Amino acid sequence: MTESAVAAPTAVASPRRIAALTVPALVVLAAEPLYVLVDTAVIGHLGRVPLAALAVAGTVLTLIAWLGSVLAYGITGRAARRFGAGDRAAAVAEGVQASWLALGVGVLVAAGMQVGAGPLAEALAGPGEVAEAAARWLRVAALGAPGLLLAAAGNGWLRGVQDIRRPLWFVLGPNLLSALLCVLMVYPGRVGA
């Protein structure tokens, strides 16, 4: 985002303006549990081991998403203070700084999971086929950590500068695509047959 993309702060805090800021933010917050629900519904048809593996790996992925939430809420407050003070350049700088931090942490998480997924899954599930399946799922899912954390940082920054519509589309679009791809990749050849 450039400095010119950041609108000037709105002075009036009417109930309508407050609702316009909160309703899309609520939808963004609900997106993560819905994403997990779709995965659970699709994987649940494959049997008990894949479902148990998803539960173990999903727990770890939820912790990674929690890191994103911490980052998002931190950047929201920092950017909002700058934006509210009329310092648009500083508000943009906060977003850039948060994006670099998110990317760095996301790359570290993705790399760390390639090495640590096995021991972590075994610590949570015990030795056996569930831990092996969970480790495989974690290694693949962790590759999305940089994008997940970047999206969280971007959403937090956009909330801070009172642009709440773009995060809504940035979250809904990928989640809908993910739901479609989940079905197509888990059930190849069965969809549309």
Task: Give 34-44 pLDDT, tens digit per residue.
Answer: 777 888 888 88
pLDDT value for 90: 94
4-28, pLDDT tens digit by residue? 455 555 556 788 888 877 787 787 7
Please give the structure tokens belonging to residue 127.
């030795």
Q: What are 109-154's pLDDT values in tens digits?
A: 999 999 999 999 999 999 999 999 999 989 988 988 898 899 889 8
In the numeric block, which tokens belong to residue 74?
A: 């931190």
Round the CA-based radius of gyration of the chain to a whole number and report it: 19
174 is written with which tokens? 């990928």
Q: How far is CA 91 from CA 7, 20, 132, in A?
A: 11, 21, 45
What is the pTM (predicted TM-score) of this model? 0.78
Per-residue pLDDT reduced to its tens digit, 150-188: 988 988 899 889 888 888 887 788 778 888 887 888 877
Residue 28: inside a domain, yes or no? Answer: no
**Domain annotation covers residue 80:** yes
In a domain, 14, yes or no: no
Would you state the pLDDT for residue 92? 92
**Structural domain contains residue 78:** yes
- Assess if residue 19 is contained within a domain: no
Q: Give domain status of residue 12, yes or no.
A: no
Structure tokens at 166: 């773009």
DSSP annotation of 1 reads -
Tell me the three state secondary structure of residue 193.
Answer: coil
What is the domain count for the chain? 1
Range of the domain at 109: 42-180
